[in-house]
Amino acid sequence: MSTPVLPLLGRGLAAGGAAGLAAGLFSLLLAEPLMDRAIRLEEARSAEEHAHGAAATAVQHHEELFSRSTQHFGLVVTAVAAGLALGVLFALAYALVHRRTSLADRPWQRALAFGAAAFVAVSLLPGLRYPANPPGVGDSGTVADRQALWLAAVVIGVLGMVLAWQVYVRLADRSLPVRQVAVALTGVATLAVLFALPGNPDEVPVAATLLWDFRVLSLASHAVLWAVFAGVFGALGLRAAGRTAPAATPVAA
């Protein structure tokens, strides 16, 4: 049975909006204080490097144009918008993978499994190779290079997850331990390809403790995003399945 796309798109948008809001609020409450500390440290470092205070003046001008409160609001709005976009992509990928099955077939389990796979492919694997850095870290001249490296890491992570899924499916006639070992080896190979990419071109002049806390919270915000997304997407799937179940039951004569 083919999988209708429009109901999935609606579920994806609803789940993406909720997940983006949750991740945005998580980052606002927990990660933003660390970002503020990182910004103050970067300002102090720049002021020391430029004795005449030119850098400090430029930073102050930037703060007048975009206050931290405005940036905080923009963070939540951007997270919601990103969640909506991810919801559309997730729904399309979900429909493609499950195109031969019914929407009512184990929606909760499938949503959780698909969400976990998306987190590993899009967030965890690229984040292991290129961990998040606080704002103000990095040369503006290397932004394009860093974006290209991150995009390459995401593509490799997605391809690696698709390959692992194909290996698991194609070894359906083998024992479960054999399938699990094959998937684990596929994951190791994906990590090897990821770490063959060039390293971060910029130094990270941030205290080790602050840097570690920021990276952990950044990855945690991704985990919140995908956990909420999978939960809402699966719950909406269960609700839709419950509505169609009575109609599918034959009425006794």
Residue with tokens 């001008």: 61
For 19-63, write each residue's pLDDT tens digit: 999 999 998 888 777 777 766 666 666 666 665 555 444 444 444
Tokens found for residue 223: 């985990």
Rounded to whole angstroms, the Cα distance separating 233 from 18 reads 10
Q: What is the pLDDT confidence band of residue 252, given thresholds at 50, 70 and 90? A: very low
Tokens found for residue 26: 């998580």
CB contact at 8 A, 12 and 90: yes
What was the pLDDT predicted at 135? Answer: 67
Give the residue, 89 or 56, on which the prediction is more confident.
89
DSSP codes joined into one string, 136-169:
T-S-GGGHHHHHHHHHHHHHHHHHHHHHHHHHHH
Domain assignments of the chain as residue spans, ordered by start? 1-115+228-243
Q: What is the pLDDT confidence band of residue 3, given thresholds at 50, 70 and 90? A: low
List the single range of 48-57, 83-92, 225-234 with lowest mean pLDDT: 48-57
List the single range of 3-12, 20-29, 233-242 with lowest mean pLDDT: 3-12
Whether pLDDT at 132 is above 60:
yes
List the single range of 85-89, 159-163, 170-174 with lowest mean pLDDT: 170-174
